[in-house]
Amino acid sequence: MTITTYDPKEIPQLKWAGLVGLFALPVGWWFFVLYVITPLLLPSITTPEGEINGYALNLITLSGYLFEFFLAIYVLRREGQRFAWSALRTRLNLRWGGWKAWGLFIVVFAIAYALTLPLIATSTITATAAPPPAWFPASQNPFKEVSSVEDALPGVVFKGNYLFLLLFLFTDWMNIIGEDIYYRGVLIPKLHGLFGRQAWLMGGLIFTLKHLYVWWRVQEALPLGIAGAFMFGPMASLPFAMLAHFIGNFGLTWPLIIKLVLFG
């Protein structure tokens, strides 16, 4: 099977200074929003229990994903990339594979997901060494128990709340679009000059390390981060990487939130 993908020789390659800059920009933005701007807004965006409410949590994270998305557009424009479908399809590996590729996708995703589950439990260890702020809700704080959707998204009345549903779905969608286009579609093809055939692997590590703004959870992102990079690189499919990312992050939460909004 012949896979048509981008040619690294036709893409401007990063040097170390450029790589550090393109890593530091979005990570720095996340730290700024979470640990400079957010504390200034407290307690107006918190519940009586002192946790950020579900609306604020989505808006804060949305700002990070939008930053990554527009940064991806900026980098592509600096490359002189044409924004025609035929050009983007090759540059970003915007293609699905045949049935063999789907079979490989299932195997790779299953292994990565299985490796992720035990790592989730280790977040309490890293959080003990460097505790997260108390205003993080239970969905992000390993010291708090998640027994319901309301624990994960406090302060939200779900039934009939279509405005919140739209915000929630759009934020999650931009999570997939922003992160995967930037860290996989844009960065990995620019890493061949530094890392050669291992560019995809280094891209997976960079994606993992970008989660430093939630330092107690970095290790959780490693298996699916590497798997997504493999899907984009050797499998030459950004859609597969995005699908794995979506299922891993939202495969359970989307049905629950939609059910609560529609039926209570």
- Reading the chain (264 residues) residue by residue, the pLDDT tens digits are 456 799 999 999 999 999 999 999 999 999 999 999 999 999 999 999 999 999 999 999 999 999 999 999 999 999 999 999 999 999 999 999 899 999 999 999 999 999 999 999 999 999 999 999 999 999 999 999 988 999 999 999 999 999 999 999 999 999 999 999 999 999 999 999 999 999 999 999 999 999 999 999 999 999 999 999 999 999 999 999 999 999 999 999 999 999 999 998
- pTM score, two decimals? 0.96
DSSP reduced 3-state for 195: helix
Quote the CA–CA distance of 240 and 226 in Å, as a whole number.
Answer: 13
Burial class (CB in 10 A: 0-12, 13-18, 19+), 26: buried
Side chain identity at residue 31, one-letter code? F
Q: Where are the alpha helices (DSSP H) in the chain?
A: 16-32, 38-41, 54-79, 85-91, 99-121, 123-129, 149-152, 162-179, 192-195, 199-209, 222-232, 238-250, 253-263
Q: How far is it, in rounded angstroms, from Cα 242 to Cα 184?
A: 10
Let me know: does 129 contact 110? Beta carbons within 8 Å: no
CA–CA separation, 106 vs 83, rounded Å?
Answer: 31
The total of other beta-carbon atoms located within 10 Å of residue 48's CB is 8
